[in-house]
Chains A and B, each alone.
Chain A
Amino acid sequence: MTTRRSVLKGLAASATASLLGPSVLTRAAQAATSSEGTWHITGSHWGAVKALVKGGKVVEVKPLEDDPRPTDMVKGIKGLIYNPSRIKYPMARADWLDKRENADRTTRGDNRFVRVTWDEALDLFHEELERVQTTYGPSGLFAGATGWRQTGQFHSCINHMNRAVSMHGNYVKKAGDYSTGAGQTILPYVLGSTEVYSQGTSWPVILENSKNVVFWASDPVKNLQVGWTCETHESLPYFDELRDKIAAGEINAISVDPVRTKTQKHIGGDQLYINPMTDVAFMLGIAHTLYSEDLHDKEFIDVYALGFDQFIAYVMGKGEDSIEKTPEWAAEICGISADQIRDFARMIASERTQLVFGWSVQRQQHGEQPYWMGAIIATMTGQVGLPGGGISYSHHYSGVGVPQTGANMPGAFPLNLDLGKVPEHDSSNFNGASSVIPVARWVDMLLNPGGKIQHNGHEVTFPDVRMCVFTGCNPWHHHQDRNKMRKAFQSLETVITVDYSWNATCRHSDLVLPACTQFERNDIDTYGAYSNTGVIAMRKLVDPLYHSKTDFEIFTALCDRFGRAKEYSRGMTEMQWVEQMYEDTRASNTGNFEMPAFADFWEEGLVRFGRGTDWVRHADFREDPELNALGTPSGFIEISSRTIEKFGYDDCGAHPKWMEKIERSHGGPKSDKFPIWLQSCHPDQRLHSQMCESDDYRESYAVAGREPAWISPQDAAERGIEDGDIVRVFNDRGQLLAGAKVSDDYAPGVVRIYEGAWYGPVDASIGALDTYGDPNTLTLDVGSSKLAQATSANTCLVQIEKFEGDAPAVTSFGGPVEVTL
């Protein structure tokens, strides 16, 4: 993060206080003290908050007044700091400590752990890195699986772990992520950008220009509660405006979804129910209507797109399968009548229509296809790049659509080695295996060393991994098929996890190091991940609890084991880093955005940069497709892709196609045995698995102490299930207990269990009943296709029954069973 440039900028650091107007500082009054205690400001994924600290303890947490729509989850923050699942001490797995690589691995997951000192733990960490690098080389170590680390740009634990472990040696890394694996792989070929993480058309532009807003498997009001950095929630008031415009008949909003979403319930508007996993069939029916009724924009397609003829031949039954994709054909599969399909097609072609896709729909087998088809529908309407028209894949994420200020944001602690530095073990010999694997295939890698898979145009050879290091992520929440994972983990000699709460990844590790929470360290963060609304100070509220330490301390101490602590930390303290990061930001904004000196910023807590500028996605391409070419191979929208066609994959071809799934509800394969589709989308009252351990808050939504399973009244009645019952949800892959929530928001044949529910097996056995309700106990672990090899979590069928008898106690929370040797 520090280059010569930033050093220079730091030295040149600027803007004298006298030149600053009063508007720059938000008088948020960091550290307001009274007899009741001291209020401090800090930031989080859940927004900016104020915490009342008294006697070294956080007594109360409230949203900052600056937040226009605080999330309910702020209620869970105090419980995130204080709960029985906090990791108190470094712990080693009882059966592993003495025998290490020769230990019995079948007992992994029995949760029996021994307390060790920090010195012992860090020596063990170093010894195991050393052993694996010496014995197997870099292909023996998998690190760098990452996720939603706690916020704070200095303490970002992903960066700390990567930098420290990289100083010791090279290792197998991942490509892609779980959230958007299929989308971020297919869209570069089609629209020339990942799209999923791109800024979208500003909400004021949509509200002003769109006649129709289609939320396609997208639930922004639920998902905008959290942000990648400190969330501002500035996006949410736009949904109130949308609600008012819908009520006034100015905008028509349609939610294409098997479930009535939180967004739909907030804004009003209509739901267009669709059978799960059949979106591509519906969209092919739309394309058929647009083409056969001559509603498609031929000039736009001619100028801005390639490959339409090949695609439309397939739609019209002139392709290999010789099936014409009529609305009648589509209706049979997707459950939307042929007339409704035609009406929908006519509507989006005749009026300005903004399509807004969510991410769940690409987390399924063939998840590339609905995203590609969405882009084609938008192209056929000729509205790509128009204000309030075209397509978005990101408006539910981290405040996308809030106009961006253009200010520069804080950098981060360096993830890489410094320039010119090499690791202690500088081998790049991966024994003929790949050094990077598609992230969602790492469990296949453990089960199949030396195996080969196709991925995005090249072949991946799985390395023989013996050791994993995890930090800032919980793979025992985000990966699919727990029982397959249990089998795979028996091949691992050593698993080391750094975390602040004892989740299921800790349970299945050999060595666990306690990090502190973000509320126990000083940091700085971006306020508004896409809007760049401001910069927020994250003042430490209380000292690290128990024996926990900051990741910075932990990894500095690890690097000290091989004599590189000073190089790691650059000889700087936490506060020196935070101040330098702030000053770098201030210098880079000089002349454009005024920022106060660090001391003032730290005192006040928040700098804001005002309202951003309205913007229209793809407008530059529409204006001049030659100069502002897309990032696709041709520079144009690729309705058919020769590049993908040449890969020769059977599950992702030259253009989008309807392909049947391995298992599919509503009459699809295997639905006779397991008739209900399990949807495991992002939770409403957690951030993935974060905050599940916040006891009081969890109790506010849990059912009989279990994760809710949302079920339709018809499915419940057929099974004798009533609201509040404990149910067993199962298939051939696993079984879990959950608490029934009966709701007519859900269609028959659809059940939702939010991902992120903590896995709590009754014992260490493969097939063990999960006592709390982690949906990934049941999900399918196959790649979306040979193109993306992404997660297919939403391709999952289950059966549900009322649980009879004494339900076993929930084992997910409360930390390890401490034993002594």
Chain B
Amino acid sequence: MSIKSLILSFWDTLRTPPATISLGVISIGGFITGIIFWGGFNTALEVTNTEKFCISCHEMADNVYLELQETVHWSNRTGVRATCPDCHVPHEWDNKIARKMQASKEVWGKVFGTINTREKFLEKREELARHEWARLEANNSLECRNCHDYDSMDWDAMSDEAVFYMQPAAERNVGCIECHKGIAHHLPEREPGTSHIIAQLDGRAASSLKGGEDYFAYKPVKIYENSDMSTPAGTLNLAAKIEVTQASGDMVEFTMTAWRKNKGYGRVLYDDFGMNTRVAVLERETAQDEEIVTAGTPQMDDNTGLDWSEVKLSLWAPKSGFVADPSQLWEVAEASYAESCSGCHAQPDPDHFSTNAWPALFSGMVGFTNMDPIEQELVLTYLQNHSSDHSDAH
């Protein structure tokens, strides 16, 4: 008899009303059984808090447990090891019980084989990881902090690079998981359109967007013609500047001023006249809708002979995906540029070339780097925004 059919027959027994036992037997027996069960429950609860219990399921043993064994949380020079419950079970009783209630779902998953193969596990990994990240974000990485403490960090013993990143985080008391996702188990596979760059910037996202303020996209943001997201309008590029006019639920209405070339459908928007720094790509219908996009008088760009028009538009975007200060983007971009573009030669200073020269040079060399498409977009935008057109150096 399988576990599944055992549970189903036990369930049948429970839901059948008693026919022969007296009320006294039921109440006194229930009291005594309650005492026994209470002790047993606590004991059982403690058993479920051991690593041995965790890895008794092959789903854990063959996946996350093996991955843990390759990390510093498993083996290190001081011999301190973090086991499953250290990170995944809250130490406070009420939180612990709450977590155990959630865990009953995992038993269900075990019984019905939700992740009983590697493939199924990998498919489900992102959802599972997001649950854990959300829990740790909600408690500001409490389980990490049971061992790690900003106040106890010896900055002198750290590498300069570690200090560079860690000190600002300490000043703002940023939760560990904000930056250290994937530290004990593999990260979920990247979906197309995601990037480690976004993961770095997620922690810096503006939490609430205020009307009348400027914000900057830190990832490609889908935009819409209306607040119910029924008509897609296009995508904002990284570092695109918007001015929020009003918020409605998870959406904000914004205005944007940009420029476009008067050759083609006018789908690509640029940040300034004659400057090929992209800020958005519109759907063809949106781009040609004069009620949404109002275009100014054409002006000829002397460097190409093309006519450009200033455009103003008003659209909707989800609230998530913006930072208040573009320098947060540039910090990440600068580090990525310095690392990725110095493998073969010294990387040129951003202001060595003009805004419109950078796309060609960048596309000519980027094949030698490991940058993903979003990282490429961020670095190119960074270079264009710090080019000779934005500096006095050349």
A residues adjacent to B (C-beta < 8 A): 1-9, 11-14, 16, 18-19, 144, 146, 153, 156, 158-159, 162, 173, 175, 184, 187-189, 191-199, 228, 306-307, 408-409, 411-412, 414-416, 418-421, 436, 457-458, 529-530, 567, 570, 588, 590-592, 625-627, 629-636, 638, 642-643, 646
- A11-B183, A306-B305, A420-B160 are known contacts. Are A629 and B394 too (CB-CB below 8 A)? no
Residues of A within 8 A of B187 (CB): 12, 590
Cα separation A146 to B276 with both chains bound (whole Å)? 31
A-B contact count, CB below 8 Å? Answer: 182
Interface check B344, CB cutoff 8 A: yes
Which residue from chain A places its CB closest to the CB of B370 in the assembled complex? A408
B3 CB to nearest A CB, Å: 26
- Interface 0/1 of B257-298, CB less than 8 Å to A: 000010111011000000010000100000000000000000
- A3-B336, A195-B364 are known contacts. Are A8 and B345 too (CB-CB below 8 A)? no
| In contact, A626 and B267 (Cβ under 8 angstroms) | yes
| In contact, B352 and A175 (Cβ under 8 angstroms) | yes
| In contact, A153 and B364 (Cβ under 8 angstroms) | no
| In contact, A8 and B303 (Cβ under 8 angstroms) | no
| In contact, A409 and B342 (Cβ under 8 angstroms) | no
| In contact, B267 and A633 (Cβ under 8 angstroms) | no
Among B305, B336, B365, the residue within 8 A (CB) of A197 is B365
Which of A158, A193, A411, A567 gathers most chain B CB within 10 Å? A193
Cα separation A153 to B368 with both chains bound (whole Å)? 13
Interface residue count for B (Cβ, 8 Å)? 67
Which residue from chain B places its CB closest to the CB of A420 in the assembled complex? B164
Among B186, B200, B359, B370, the residue within 8 A (CB) of A12 is B186
Cα separation A184 to B348 with both chains bound (whole Å)? 14
Cα separation A188 to B345 with both chains bound (whole Å)? 19
Q: Is the interface of A mostly helix, strand, loop or mixed?
A: loop
Which of B180, B340, B347, B356 gathers most chain A CB within 10 Å? B356
| In contact, A416 and B261 (Cβ under 8 angstroms) | no
Cα separation A4 to B199 with both chains bound (whole Å)? 12
| In contact, A627 and B161 (Cβ under 8 angstroms) | no
Residues of A within 8 A of B344 (CB): 156, 158, 228, 412
Which residue from chain A places its CB closest to the CB of B393 in the assembled complex? A435
Interface check B179, CB cutoff 8 A: yes
Cα separation A5 to B338 with both chains bound (whole Å)? 13
Residues of A within 8 A of B72 (CB): 11
Report the stretch among B48-56, B63-71, B108-116, B135-143 that lies at the interface.
B63-71
| In contact, B367 and A198 (Cβ under 8 angstroms) | yes
Interface check B118, CB cutoff 8 A: yes
Among B165, B265, B339, B358, the residue within 8 A (CB) of A414 is B339
Residues of B within 8 A of A530 (CB): 367
Among B159, B164, B179, B354, the residue within 8 A (CB) of A570 is B159
Cα separation A3 to B336 with both chains bound (whole Å)? 8
Interface check B302, CB cutoff 8 A: yes
A417 CB to nearest B CB, Å: 9
Residues of A within 8 A of B134 (CB): none
With A162-B346, A420-B160 already in contact, 13 other A-B pairs whose C-beta atoms are closer than 8 Å: A9-B196, A12-B185, A16-B70, A156-B343, A175-B348, A187-B360, A191-B360, A194-B361, A306-B306, A415-B345, A418-B159, A419-B338, A420-B164
Interface check B155, CB cutoff 8 A: no
| In contact, A633 and B304 (Cβ under 8 angstroms) | yes
Residues of A within 8 A of B4 (CB): none
| In contact, B164 and A1 (Cβ under 8 angstroms) | no
Which residue from chain A places its CB closest to the CB of B185 in the assembled complex? A12
| In contact, A412 and B367 (Cβ under 8 angstroms) | no
Cα separation A411 to B338 with both chains bound (whole Å)? 12
- A194-B360, A642-B305 are known contacts. Are A419 and B71 too (CB-CB below 8 A)? no
- A13-B70, A306-B304, A307-B305 are known contacts. Are A198 and B161 too (CB-CB below 8 A)? no
| In contact, B363 and A631 (Cβ under 8 angstroms) | yes
